[in-house]
Amino acid sequence: MNRVSEILGIKYPVIQGPMAWITSSKLVAAVSNAGGLGVLGTSADNEEIIRDIDASVEAMRAAIRNTKALTDKPFGINVFPEAGDPYGFSKKMVALAKEEGVKILVVAGMVSPKEIKAWKADGFTVIMREDNPTVRGALEAEKAGADILVATGCDEGGCMPGLSTGTTAITALLSEYVHIPVLSAGGIVNAKLALANKVVGAEGVFVGTRFILSKECRASDIAKKDIMDTHPDDFIVFTQSNGHSKWRTTPHKYGKEGLEANKQGNMNPPSGSFYYGMLRGDLDAGVNTVSNLSSLIHSIDSCADIVKELGDVFVEE
Ligand SMILES: Cc1cc2nc3c(=O)[nH]c(=O)nc-3n(C[C@H](O)[C@H](O)[C@H](O)COP(=O)(O)O)c2cc1C
């Protein structure tokens, strides 16, 4: 059995990356039932935007319970270190995970050794995804007790690493320096890409875009069609937050405005929301963001087929 599968108690080392708004209980349970690991992102089953933190936490409690009703397999939830969580939302999410018996935390943001140690002491399995991955950060996370690392390249969908290191390069680097298993994230859209990253050191994959174009993903059909229709050369990349995060979007209003703002020297343009773009399919009111390799996805498959396709790459004969 592969080390990632062993640590997480799953059949295939295929982890579905949490995606705000579109990783619902249905998607998460479908991935976990297929033998991968589903991960609930924020606003998982919400239909409307909730602005109150406690109400958001209660909505996540409902999403966790909905997931449990659909699967008896392990699944995780997305949390953020304190530095990226000024309102204390994540702290409450960790407490909620403990109350509800969710044992796997998928942490996105800067490495915080103190918090990793505290989560480990609380009995969680920690998958650490530094948003701008570095070797120093990986070593710190390993030392603090993280179980698995995610090496994210700038091929990813969503908010991309500001450092322009591709997925294969960052996977090769991190897996050379740490002893804990490394997952590749960014543009793992088919078995070939999973294999390429396995060759350079990945022991599993961490996947968003391919699962957006799945039967069980609640992204709107308009968003799915827009993603499939976008030519790979037509995606727009714009920078937000003083160069620390970049967004790749399909070519609609917010992406174009972001790009124009950057040209004028404004590195903090509004980024739009997945709620409008991806969930509601209102492309001019929000963003549609996916990997630059999305054009290599030719069909909308079930999560079971996707998990098996990518997972078979890691199953030893
Ligand atoms: C639409 C979208 C939303 C995302 N939202 C989140 C999020 O809320 N939290 C998080 O940790 N990562 C988020 N991500 C990153 C994914 O968890 C994952 O790292 C990424 O999708 C992997 O790259 P890929 O899309 O090329 O497979 C998001 C990605 C996408 C495409």
**pLDDT confidence of residue 84:** 82
**Mutate which of 21, 156, 193 to test ligand 1's pocket (most atoms within 8 Å of Cβ)?**
156
Rounded CA separation 90/20 (Å): 14
Residues of the chain with pLDDT under 70: 242-243, 317
Q: Is the dihedral of CA 133, 202, 274, 255 positive or negative?
A: positive
Q: What is the pLDDT of residues 148-197, one digit of tens each?
A: 999 999 999 989 998 889 999 999 999 999 999 999 999 999 999 999 99
CATH numbers and ranges of domains, the chain: 3-218+294-314 (3.20.20.70), 221-279 (no CATH)
- β-pairing verdict for 38-40 and 14-16: unpaired
CA of 10 to the centre of ligand 1 (A): 21
77, 97 Cβ separation under 8 angstroms: yes
Minimum CA distance residue for ligand 1 atom 16: 17
Q: How far is CA 178 from CA 197, 201, 265, in A?
A: 16, 11, 38
In this prediction the pTM is 0.97
Q: Is the dihedral of CA 166, 172, 177, 182 positive or negative?
A: positive
**pLDDT confidence of residue 163:** 83
Strand partners, 182: 149
**pLDDT confidence of residue 87:** 87
**pLDDT confidence of residue 290:** 97
**pLDDT confidence of residue 317:** 61
CA of 245 to the centre of ligand 1 (A): 13
Q: 33: which 2 tokens?
A: 């039932």
Minimum CA distance residue for ligand 1 atom 29: 158
